C-alpha cells in the first residue's frame, strides 16, 4: 500500500511509485504510434471523414465511462471491505488478548493461546496472498506449525487449536463457563473476519464485465484516430495517448483493487497489519513488542 504526501505540481507528472503508468505504457505508446500512422495514411490518401467524425465517439465514450465507473466502484468497494475486515480482525485480536489475560491465570496456557492467535494472522495472510507463511508462524508456535500446514485451511486449523485449548481449560476448571463463552465469542468473531476475507478472495468480479470493458476500450482507441484526424491533425497521437492513459489506467487500477490482498503497490499492507497484531499481543503479555514495519520508498507491504 502506498502512503505518501500529496505531490507538488513539479513532481506530479514524474511519480511512478504507486502509479499504474508502468503497466500501461505499451498501450499508451502503442496507440500514440498507431494514431500517428493513421494521420499519415489519411493525409497520404487524402481521405475526408467530415466534421462529424468525432460525434459517434462522444456517445461511445459515455457508454465506456459508465462501464469504467461501475467496475472501479465495485473494485474499490471490495478493497474497502477487505480493509474493514482486517481492521475488525485487529480489534478482535486485541479483545482476545485483553479478555484472556484477565481469565487465564496459567502463564503458559495464556501465552500459548495468544501465540496461536498471532500465528493465525500470518496463516491468514499467507492464504489470502497465496504465499507460504510457515516461517513467520513458526516464530510464534514452533514445531506446532507442522500440523497446521498439513490442513486444507491453516488459519481454520489454528482456530480449532485455540478452541480446543480453551475447552481444555474449561474442563480442567481453569476458567468457568462464562469465561469460556467470552473467549469462544472472540474466536467466533475472528472466524467471521476470516470467512469475509475468503469470500472476497474467492469471488472475483464477473469476467464478462472485464471482457466487455477491455473490448470496448480497444475498439474505441483503434477507431478514435480516424475521428480526430480532420479536427486535430498531427495532435491526434497526443489525444489518442491521453485517452488510452485514462481508459486503460482506470482498468489497471481496478484490477489491482479487485484483489486487495495481493502485493501490488495499491493492495492492503497485510504484513503491517500482522505486525500490529503482534505488537498488541506482546504488550498484553507484558513483553517487549517488535517494532512496526517501516515503509520502503512509501510502500507498506
User: How deeply is 221 buried, as exposed, middle or buried, from its count of CB atoms within 10 A (0-12, 13-18, 19+)?
Assistant: buried
> What is d(CA 139, CA 243) in angstroms, rounded to the nearest whole number?
50
Nearest-Å Rg of the Cα atoms of the chain is 26
What was the pLDDT predicted at 167? 95
Query: Largest Cα–Cα distance of the chain, in whole Å?
Result: 93
How many C-beta atoms surround the C-beta of residue 179 within 10 A?
A: 18
In terms of Cα–Cα distance, which of 242, 212, 204 is closest to 225? Answer: 242
Which residues 6+ apart lie within 8 Å of 80 measured at CB? none
What was the pLDDT predicted at 180? 93
> What is d(CA 128, CA 260) in angstroms, rounded to the nearest whole number?
9
> What is d(CA 86, CA 190) in angstroms, rounded to the nearest whole number?
10
User: Can you read off the three cell numbers belonging to residue 252?
Assistant: 489497471
Domain-wise residue ranges, the chain:
37-284
What was the pLDDT predicted at 83? 94
In terms of Cα–Cα distance, which of 89, 133, 97 is closest to 114? Answer: 97
What was the pLDDT predicted at 51? 56
In terms of Cα–Cα distance, which of 252, 260, 202 is closest to 79? Answer: 260
Q: What is the pLDDT along the chain (301 residues), one digit of tens a residue?
A: 666 656 666 665 656 666 778 888 889 999 999 989 988 888 888 776 665 556 677 777 777 788 788 888 989 999 999 999 999 999 999 999 999 999 999 999 999 999 999 999 999 999 999 999 999 999 999 988 998 989 999 999 999 999 999 999 999 999 999 999 999 999 999 999 999 999 999 988 888 888 888 888 888 888 888 888 877 788 889 989 998 988 888 888 888 889 999 888 888 899 999 999 999 999 999 999 888 877 776 556 6
User: Can you read off the three cell numbers belonging to residue 127?
Assistant: 492464504
User: How deeply is 257 buried, as exposed, middle or buried, from its count of CB atoms within 10 A (0-12, 13-18, 19+)?
Assistant: buried
Report DSSP state, residue 50: -
User: Can you read off the three cell numbers belonging to residue 94?
Assistant: 486485541
User: How deeply is 241 buried, as exposed, middle or buried, from its count of CB atoms within 10 A (0-12, 13-18, 19+)?
Assistant: buried
Is-contact 64 217, C-beta < 8 A?
A: yes
> What is d(CA 25, CA 31) in angstroms, rounded to the nearest whole number?
10
Q: Model's pTM, two decimal places?
A: 0.87
What was the pLDDT predicted at 68? 82
What was the pLDDT predicted at 204? 87
What was the pLDDT predicted at 6? 67
Is-contact 115 121, C-beta < 8 A?
A: no
What was the pLDDT predicted at 298? 59
Chain centre distance of CA 127? 13
Is-contact 299 265, C-beta < 8 A?
A: yes
Encode pLDDT of 98-137 as tens digits. 999 999 999 999 999 999 999 999 999 999 999 999 999 9
Amino acid at each position: 500500500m502506498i502512503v505518501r504526501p500529496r505531490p507538488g505540481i513539479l513532481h506530479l507528472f514524474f511519480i511512478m511509485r504507486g502509479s499504474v503508468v508502468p503497466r500501461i505504457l505499451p498501450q499508451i505508446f502503442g496507440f500514440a504510434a498507431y494514431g500517428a500512422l493513421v494521420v499519415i495514411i489519411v493525409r497520404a490518401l487524402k481521405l475526408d471523414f467530415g466534421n462529424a467524425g468525432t460525434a459517434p465517439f462522444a456517445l461511445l465514450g459515455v457508454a465506456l465511462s459508465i462501464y469504467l465507473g461501475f467496475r472501479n466502484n465495485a473494485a474499490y468497494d471490495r478493497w474497502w471491505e477487505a480493509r474493514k475486515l482486517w481492521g475488525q480482525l485487529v480489534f478482535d485480536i486485541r479483545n482476545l488478548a485483553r479478555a484472556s489475560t484477565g481469565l487465564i491465570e496459567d502463564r503458559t496456557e495464556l501465552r500459548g493461546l495468544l501465540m496461536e492467535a498471532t500465528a493465525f494472522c500470518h496463516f491468514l495472510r499467507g492464504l489470502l496472498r497465496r504465499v507460504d507463511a510457515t516461517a513467520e508462524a513458526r516464530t510464534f508456535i514452533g514445531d506446532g506449525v507442522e500440523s497446521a500446514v498439513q490442513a486444507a485451511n491453516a488459519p481454520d486449523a489454528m482456530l480449532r487449536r485455540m478452541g480446543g485449548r480453551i475447552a481444555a481449560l474449561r474442563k480442567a476448571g481453569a476458567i468457568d463457563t462464562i469465561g469460556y463463552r467470552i473467549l469462544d465469542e472472540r474466536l467466533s468473531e475472528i472466524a467471521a473476519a476470516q470467512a469475509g476475507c475468503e469470500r472476497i478472495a474467492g469471488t472475483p468480479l464477473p469476467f464478462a464485465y472485464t471482457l466487455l470493458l477491455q473490448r470496448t476500450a480497444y475498439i474505441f482507441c483503434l477507431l478514435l484516430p480516424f475521428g480526430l484526424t480532420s479536427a486535430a491533425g498531427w495532435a491526434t497521437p497526443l489525444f489518442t495517448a491521453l485517452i488510452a492513459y485514462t481508459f486503460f489506467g482506470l482498468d489497471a487500477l481496478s484490477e489491482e483493487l479487485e484483489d486487495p490482498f495481493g502485493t501490488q503497490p495499491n493492495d492492503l499492507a497485510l504484513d503491517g497489519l500482522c505486525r500490529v497484531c503482534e505488537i498488541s499481543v506482546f504488550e498484553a503479555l507484558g513483553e517487549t513488542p517488535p517494532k512496526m514495519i517501516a515503509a520502503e520508498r512509501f510502500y507498506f507491504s
